[in-house]
Amino acid sequence: MSDRSAGVPPAVVTSGLPVPGADALAHSRRLTERIRHEIARGNGRIGFDRFMDLALYAPGLGYYAAGTRKFGEAGDFITAPETSPLFARCLARQCHEVLAGIPSGRLLEIGAGSGVLGADLLAELETLGQLPEQYLILEVSPDLRQRQRQTLEARVPHLLDRVHWLDDLPDPGFTGLVIANEFLDAMPVHRFRCAAEQVQEAFVTWRDGRFGQVWDAALSGGLDAAVAAVADGVGPLADGYESEINLRAGSWLRALGERVAAGVLLLIDYGYPRREYYHPQRSRGTLMCHYRHRAHPDPFQWAGLQDITAHVDFTAVADAGEAAGFAVRGYTTQAHFLIGCGLDRILAESNPQDVASHMTLMQGAKRLTLPSEMGERFKVLALARAWDRPLIGFAARDLSDRL
């Protein structure tokens, strides 16, 4: 099974992918029509970020807004909470620390996927004696909301009355913890190219019966300035250098900054500090697609049936968080975060005589922590407001100075 962080060279072609069934292809054609209409209304092109937005979130049609399986073996990719309950059990210890320090603090999960993380977190927090009064979920997909409810009903039915689905961020005054696992990488991004001292933007067209991409002078507000900020940080980008940039994360953090009065945000995702993200050798960006556990670089294949994602520039997220009134309280790899939260102690409690469950636990620990698996590509960034104590997740190693 593949996670969503694996990189593929842009030259890889998409032939060899499993072919979707007739119903899935019909669904993809409906979404394609929807996007084509918007392209026609936009004088023959739309920004790449808008294409990605529609491909992932067009109501009733986009990848996350319609009923495909997505997560786990029968889906397209696997995430850390789906890989092993160890992820939630460790994270629960970090939640325990913060909730113990913020009386009446609540937990808010953004983009809760199948609901597995919520269920496992609540179960572990109950064991630790630190259940929050409320577990809030902000999930854009109606289909996934339903799946989350089913997961929570099946796994922690006695705790369901603590779970509330929100339509928007909570009202100002929120205190507690905000968790977003693999949420930032699912935000639509702008694709840009440096060409003869000009910043160009990718636009999506419809030609000869399929979507295509053209480059033209950047039109999107803020793109020129954002690329200039990247170049300020890493040095001039070479002519022809292509990458992507997330212009939405800043406004999302500003909105959170207006709602969170005291607490900690844990943003967990695959990505790099800016210097590594916009490294001269990474000259074609990080955009990637996932279909049935195969990674490939063509975002125009089977609209609505495949995931499209980009790595996270954690320097940009940290900067935007600080501009929104948060302070960086830690940045580390997933492996070090889980170890800091007590992974070793949880594993030490496992009974090797119970061979099957011990082996499953050990295999899960390896997938979550090995550098060749999810351990190093995934990072954890903590942003906090009115919280100045050290966090256990960053005790094993804090890499904030690399941001």
Q: Which stretch binds ligand SAM (CB under 6 A): 79-87, 162-170, 222-230, 333-341?
A: 79-87
Residue type, 209: G
- Distance of closest approach, residue 70 Cβ to ligand SAM, in angstroms: 7
- DSSP conformation letters of 255-300: HHHHHEEEEEEEEEEEEE-HHHHT-TT-TB---EEEETTEEES-TT
Q: Residue 313 and residue 253: Cα distance in Å, rounded? A: 14
Q: Which of 51, 174, 183, 291 binds ligand SAM (CB under 6 A)?
A: 183
Burial classification of residue 357, based on how many CB atoms lie within 10 Å of its CB (0-12 exposed, 13-18 middle, 19 or more buried):
exposed
> Which CB, 227 or 380, lies closer to ligand SAM?
380
Which stretches within 42-141 are classed as H helix? 48-57, 80-83, 85-101, 116-127
Cα-based torsion angle of the residue sequence 347, 349, 351, 352 in order, rounded to the nearest 10 degrees: 40
Residue type, 391: L
Cβ atoms of 202 and 219 closer than 8 Å: no
Q: Which stretch binds ligand SAM (CB under 6 A): 97-105, 134-142, 227-235, 284-292?
A: 134-142
Does 63 sit near ligand SAM (CB under 6 A)?
Answer: no
Q: Which stretch binds ligand SAM (CB under 6 A): 178-186, 229-237, 348-356, 367-375?
A: 178-186
Q: Which of 110, 125, 218, 382 binds ligand SAM (CB under 6 A)?
A: 110
Does 182 sit near ligand SAM (CB under 6 A)?
Answer: yes
Does 295 sit near ligand SAM (CB under 6 A)?
Answer: no
Q: Restricting to residues 25-44, which ones interact with ligand SAM according to CB under 6 A?
A: none
- Distance of closest approach, residue 114 Cβ to ligand SAM, in angstroms: 6
Count CB-CB contacts under 10 A for residue 251. Answer: 12
In degrees, rounded to 5, the angle at the alpha carbon of residue 319 between the alpha carbons of residues 316 and 324 is 125
> Which CB, 178 or 396, lies closer to ligand SAM?
178
Q: Which residues pair with 110 in a beta bridge?
A: 138
Q: Which of 124, 139, 319, 373 binds ligand SAM (CB under 6 A)?
A: 139
Cβ atoms of 263 and 284 closer than 8 Å: no
Cβ atoms of 72 and 104 closer than 8 Å: no
Does 144 sit near ligand SAM (CB under 6 A)?
Answer: yes
> Which CB, 71 or 192, lies closer to ligand SAM?
71
30, 77, 80, 176, 310 from 182: Cα distances, Å? 27, 12, 9, 20, 10
Q: Which of 64, 192, 211, 387 binds ligand SAM (CB under 6 A)?
A: 64
Q: Which of 47, 75, 111, 393 binds ligand SAM (CB under 6 A)?
A: 111
Does 141 sit near ligand SAM (CB under 6 A)?
Answer: yes
Does 140 sit near ligand SAM (CB under 6 A)?
Answer: yes
Does 186 sit near ligand SAM (CB under 6 A)?
Answer: yes
Q: Which stretch binds ligand SAM (CB under 6 A): 6-14, 139-147, 236-244, 277-285?
A: 139-147
- Binding residues for ligand SAM, per CB under 6 A? 64, 71, 79, 81-82, 110-113, 117, 138-141, 144, 181-183, 186
